[in-house]
A and B are shown apart, each in its own frame.
Chain A
Amino acid sequence: MKDITARALNVAQVRGAAYADIRVVARDTQRVAVKNGKVEAIQQDETQGFGVRVIVNGAWGFAASSRLEMREVETVVAQAIAIAKASAHVKARDAHLGEPVVNKESYETPVKINPFTVPMNDKIDLLLRADEAMRRVSGVKVARAEMAFVRENKLFASTEGSLINQEIVESGCGIVALATDLQTGEVQVRSYPNSVGRHQQTRGYEFILEQKLAENAPRVAEEAVALLTAEQCPSYDAATIILDSSQLALQIHESCGHPIELDRVLGSEAAYAGTSFLTPEKLGRFRYGSEVVNIVADATVPGGLGTFGFDDEGVPAQKTEIIRNGIFVGYLTSRESAHQLGLGKSNGTMRADGWARPPIIRMTNINLLPGTWDVDALIADTDDGIWMETNRSWSIDDKRLNFQFGTELGWEIKGGKKTRLLKNATYTGITPQFWQACDAVCNEKAWIVWGTPNCGKGQPSQVAHTGHGAAPARFRGVRVGVIR
């Protein structure tokens, strides 16, 4: 493979590229899904190819192909160069990457049990057991359980001299029970460990075993059915809410992770994903949240879905501060954007979705650092509030200010105790006001690095896998309930 990368970089330089890099990527994915006692899908996909990124005449070009042959490599490099030359017709300034980055290393996700060698029967059995346990609960209309595994091998080489080999392995799983009542038209759903299909980490099959899907299945199913007759979550202009760690993970993703992406801030996503309210003059000054809000971008946390050795510009994985004691202090950057804004070196967040897409700034693991509260103590400390758990719906504006989230389940809290189950709970707010109203974060005992395997951004669209460490946290004065 190294002869192919060397040839690509050589051809690029000969044809006038000031900078070039190539990524050769092979990705295997396996998905096993069962539904209502039936194995719905077993699927194994492999895709391989390479993408070449060049700067010519101060402008970017990128081309990619699935045909890993020497002749094709030359054709694709020529195509990338032609594209860059066309880009240069409509450019504002020359692209600069700042200081050269040279790394010659390799990285592998630490894995205890290789998920690709676990017998398929074991996987099917585990899922069917969870599925059956859910369907034993009457009122469950659809039970689903799934696992997914990813193995990505990538080789990165640049004209600056980097040569990096990486193997990233991910394991994910989830179960979901859907309960319906045709009489009332009510449809309720409960998921575990997380919604939107599954929870996922950069770990091996040991992660799947730890989730104890079958053991949790009866509770998940019972909650789905109980929600059919649960009270509608009331509406309040200003309520106290406690978010469980998985819902909080999505809150972090949407209202912190996206607005700190420097490419959004600089307008690159203006027509699609949107821009950001965290404009550069706010850096180091703006009160984003309360004193208890501390958020970092950490591509090194074990198991995080945004954990790797090097990003797709060859920059090492890092841990950087984003929010310190409530003050906004850092962006996610690339080499070009960090240089453009005078922020020094990239903090290593450029990632591409496979071989066919160019790297763009993506979240790594955006983690809310643990606070001091035990979960039970926090509930006991809450006189009148609502516990909200597991995301059901999410929406946020293109500057990442106005959001609305719905959760699968709500619990009314009265006098420090969970009292009655609530359905269709939603809350809405404005990002900095909301985070400024955070008065308690739970401690490391309840802290989980959740995985979000479905973050969309970019044109052509790219899906990224990101991580979000969080423990339950309490927010005051939140507007709750708009469904009727």
Chain B
Amino acid sequence: MSAVSTTTASRVHTDPSRWRDLVDSDERAEFAASVRAHLGARFGPDAARACFDAAQPAEAWREIAAADYPVIGLPEAMGGAGSIVDAVAMVEAAGPALVPLPLVSTVTAWQTVAHAGRPSEGRAYEVSSERRAALAVVDGTDELVVLDGALADEVVLVDVRGAAVRVSVADVSDAVTAVHRHVDPGRPTAVLDRTRLSETVLADGRTDVDAVLAPARTVLAADLTGVGATALDRAVRHALEREQFGKRIGAFQGIKHRLADVYVAVERARSLTRAAAVALASDGTSDLSAAELALLAKAAATDAAVDSTRAYVQVLGAMGMTFEADAHLYFRRAQQTAPFLGSAADCYRAAALVRREDHR
């Protein structure tokens, strides 16, 4: 080729049509709307608030299983249908409902398995919507800190200690040694004792940790984007109602510009999350590595969710500091999910390293 410079962008394919799936088809948009309506009516802030006094409503998993949400976007061989883009749309649409059950952790676990490469026994690992799962990264000790692991039936382990990344699965049974509910009791953190797990290896053919974690990061990014978008909507609603100094507070630029910046953060996260999902769905044909896009998406969505929920509290004023206002519930969800699979700073840094490696 003539005139091609070796700039960063030169690795990038120029045919934009491969990214069409960034925008929902009518069918997917309808599906997302139905998820939002269903979960919003069934759960929502009151269900999340109830988790402060009572256990997670484990019995309600039946309804999630009946809708088959956990297997949406999995390959047919695993018992699913559609692509990870559908899973991402579903998870984002679940954001407003603050689902107090391990839906997101189950999707991260199964999507990790789906993209981990060929299972060693040559047969896909079949999953069912009835089973709840969680994801654990094994990088040091046998004490595994797992997002939303309290109700998990199975845990998918990504062992990053060796040269090859090993993906395995185990029944949780009695491996939970502690559950921490203080950040977000609707999505608690569990500590698992790895020595009590009996693991079945599903894949160990890949060496790139960030590629193996890309589906899970993308799903968490969709969750955080959904939480951020919801907090923004609710903050805007309040800014349109509350009056001070004879004006609706949304007229003040201090409020307006802050919410505009949150809107930018949310759309920035949404664009990157969708792009990561499209790249994963079209495995091998995307122009940027899915690993890099998933890191950028997770970082951007973490920023968006934390900034947005923080702004939601601020816009409510003192009411934002009360148990009855919903703002702290969304803020808690954002803070609970934020550190898993890398903080925003960790993910930005790792993405820069991936880009630098590709640039060589």
Do A and B assemble together? no
